[in-house]
Amino acid sequence: MPTKVAKFGGTSLASAPQIRKMQAIVQSDADRRFVVPSAPGKREPKDTKVTDLLYLCHDLASKGLKFDDAWDPICDRFQGIVSELGLSLDLGPILTEAEAIIADHGRRGLPADYAASRGEAINGRIIAQLLQCDYVDPTELIFFNERGRLDEDKTYATLAKRLANVDRAVIPGFFGTGLDGNVKTFSRGGSDVTGAIIARGVNASVYENWTDVHGLLITDPRIVPDAFTIETVTYRELRELSYSGASVLHDEAVFPVRQANIPVNIRNTNDPDHPGTLIVSNDHPSAKQSYQITGIAGRKDFTIIQIEKAMMNTEIGFGKRVLGVLADFNVSFEHIPSGIDTLSVVIEDTALEGKLEDIVAALHTAVKPDSIELDNNLALIATVGRGMAKQTGTSAKLFGALGTANVNIRMIDQGSSEMNIIVGTDVQDFEKAVQAIYSAFVSEDGQTRALS
Ligand code: ASP
């Protein structure tokens, strides 16, 4: 039986009318057998997400305070949804039980996971009633190991068995069972991860991730307001883009489906006819049609530590000692551009906070350089595309565009996979540089980027 897993995000389920849209989407395709809901999110920008209110309830409870002011709006919101949808579900006992356990966990100093998970759990019950299908609690399916990571063997074995004879079900996102037997959540936004695990566990033909945007945009719409949606992106490109600052899917959500070669389709609940963005492996037929570039992403606020020493190249182990100092300070680095007698490391400013002076002193001791210079105020922009490797002139076009826009390039790094070109610019030039790259590669109708 063909199976699609459809995960719906918080804004897609924020109110009864939004939930009706979800219902229409699910019921329009019989293959959408497993629905993974988030908790109700924001109805408008100033609204508060149910999950945030639940964390607040736990916080108050753990301080021995009453939490009615946070709890009542949650109850009102869920009760309002049930009555607007015209369901006969009696939420009373479910809410009473949740409130008592939140109070108890707070009193006993237990973590916030149970409280945080109730948004998904209660929403899941409502949606199962609406769709007239089974409710399967994810604590029966998803297990964490002693390191707090997914216990893959146990999870996939249990999941396959438990869902083998389930025709259709609602499985709330965001949580499972911790090693101690209590509810444990993924990190924020973790319903994406649940959807990916279920998709892999049932060997879905596609993992649909329904949200409030058309998909992954070529670049940040705050910088290029009419940026086009990417039609197809490979898992590797997505990883590059999201690491470089693009956000659409929880990071950990990519791995389960990628391992099982299941495409992910980002779709818009508010515009279900739009095809969205398809995320596939390199050898998927849809990955063949490629563009000169797929996306542009970037982040600000990096520092370059430039180490200079004459005849550095003859000193075996120089690089190892430099990186060893960073490891000792638990600092992760982004790039290591190097010259004959210079080696630089590019590091995010936040990673250096309170440590920079000590790191420089330790580098002096470790490699006895002629000089160390610090250069901050750096932004990194990654231009990513699987089509680049086959196309001559990509970098000429990119650097030409930046030159014409009068952007000074302070660093260049091209990954050996030839799938990305990363440039470092002054932070002040960041937006201008992204706009210049976008207009060099993406035409007004978004069409002329195709490779011949
Ligand atoms: N409700 C959780 C959060 O707000 C998980 C999710 O929506 O994916 O982080």
CATH classification of the domain holding 357: 3.30.2130.10
Where does a domain end: 212, 240, 264? 212
Please report the pLDDT score of residue 445 as a whole number: 61
Tell me the CATH number at 205.
3.40.1160.10
Domain that holds residue 34: 4-212
Residue to substitute in 7, 12, 48, 49 for testing ligand 1 pocket (most ligand atoms within 8 angstroms of CB): 49
In tens, the pLDDT along 209-265 reads 999 999 999 999 999 998 999 999 999 999 889 888 888 788 888 889 998 999 999
Residue to substitute in 12, 51, 113, 187 for testing ligand 1 pocket (most ligand atoms within 8 angstroms of CB): 51
Please report the pLDDT score of residue 290 as a whole number: 65
Where does a domain end: 147, 177, 212? 212
Evaluate whether residue 366 is within a structural domain: yes
Total structural domains in the chain? 2
Distance from the CA of 377 to the center of ligand 1, in angstroms? 33
Nearest alpha carbon, ligand 1 atom 8: 189
Please report the pLDDT score of residue 174 as a whole number: 98
Q: Is 119 in the pocket of ligand 1 (CB under 6 A)?
A: yes
In tens, the pLDDT along 375-386 reads 999 999 999 998
Q: Is 174 in the pocket of ligand 1 (CB under 6 A)?
A: yes
Please report the pLDDT score of residue 450 as a whole number: 47
Nearest alpha carbon, ligand 1 atom 5: 189
Please report the pLDDT score of residue 365 as a whole number: 96
Same domain, 305 and 434: yes
What is the position in ligand 1's atom list of the atom closest to the CA of 10?
7
Same domain, 16 and 158: yes
Q: How far apart are CA 366 and CA 352, in angstroms?
A: 18
What residues in the chain have per-residue pLDDT under 50? 447-448, 450-452
Same domain, 207 and 316: no
Evaluate whether residue 278 is within a structural domain: no
Where does a domain end: 195, 212, 229? 212
Same domain, 299 and 208: no
